Amino acid sequence: MTFSVTILGSGSAAPAANRHHTAHALNVHEQFYLIDCGEGTQERMRRYGISPMKLKAIFISHLHGDHIFGLPGILSTLNHLGRKTPLPIFGPPPIEEYLDFHHRHFTQYMGYEILCQQVNARENTLIYQNNVLEVTTLPLRHRIPSCGYLFREKTPGWNVDKQAIEKYGLSRAQIVALKRGESVRLTDGTLLESPQVTYIPYQGRSYAYCSDTLYSGKVVRLVHGVDLLYHEATFLDKDKQLAKETGHTTARQAARAALLSESHRLMIGHFSSRYKDENLFLEEACSIFPRTILAREGEMVSIP
């Protein structure tokens, strides 16, 4: 079952020649979720083979332009393409006002419903779930209300081994009982216990998205043990005072967050255009947390 993230943009506020504004596309069992939506996001989605019509929901971290200026374009395109399915959009204030303005002035005649949910950026709250996924907010520390998102794949229930079904000639009722953890009596009187023939197909995986924030001990606790932590690293540590003044993190601080949260892997991005060599970020972060990768545009990162 697919659980991966495609990087659509890795830059910060000022665009660079080879870096676009922030956006990630998360694929969970071929259900797509857009996380932030910087300028030009829909063009890059098409370039990397992700149809905007496949979007199940959109999650916005905060209302700075490099994270949201691409949203009106996608919403309009979906209308032109004939979308009928309602589209949930989550984000902190004033996203409701922002979407209402766009609707009143640019898309009065929408063929689908936008389900806007304004979230509290100071709370850790479950805001979305379906049969395979649940999403909770992560309170970030930025200059305006800002939240990250923790995406957790739901661990499936027990399956009965196919060979065991054939071997014991199990009926449908017996299979259902074994999946519930019950024991069943076979025709020869043998008691077959659930642990003997059942297994969990896979363990639920997780992805934490932490953009535009100062280092936060609270976030470190909330994302403990996450499979892949995306953490902004706008500046190098030599500019940590500037990072503090602007509400951002350095590569070293992001690596410390990954280390203390015992994350399995760290991905850093949102690089300032003042730096031309992204490998400097990687070197700095790897000195603290070796399992670090760069958010490179167009790359799909699988979460095994």
Q: Which residues are catalytic?
A: 66
If you search the block for the tokens 């659980």, which residue do you land on? 3
Helix axes 279-286, 251-260, angle to 10 degrees: 40
How many other C-beta atoms lie within 10 A of the C-beta of residue 283?
13
Q: Which amino acid is at 29?
A: H
Strands 265-269 and 228-232: parallel
User: Rounded to an integer, what distance in angstroms lies between the CA atom of residue 183 and that of residue 194?
Assistant: 5
State residue 252 phi and psi, 5-degree precision: -65, -40
- Adjacent-strand bridge partners of 57: 33
User: Rounded to an integer, what distance in angstroms lies between the CA atom of residue 282 and that of residue 289?
Assistant: 10
How many other C-beta atoms lie within 10 A of the C-beta of residue 54?
14
Asked if 25 and 34 count as a contact pair (C-beta separation under 8 A), the reply is yes
How many other C-beta atoms lie within 10 A of the C-beta of residue 292?
25
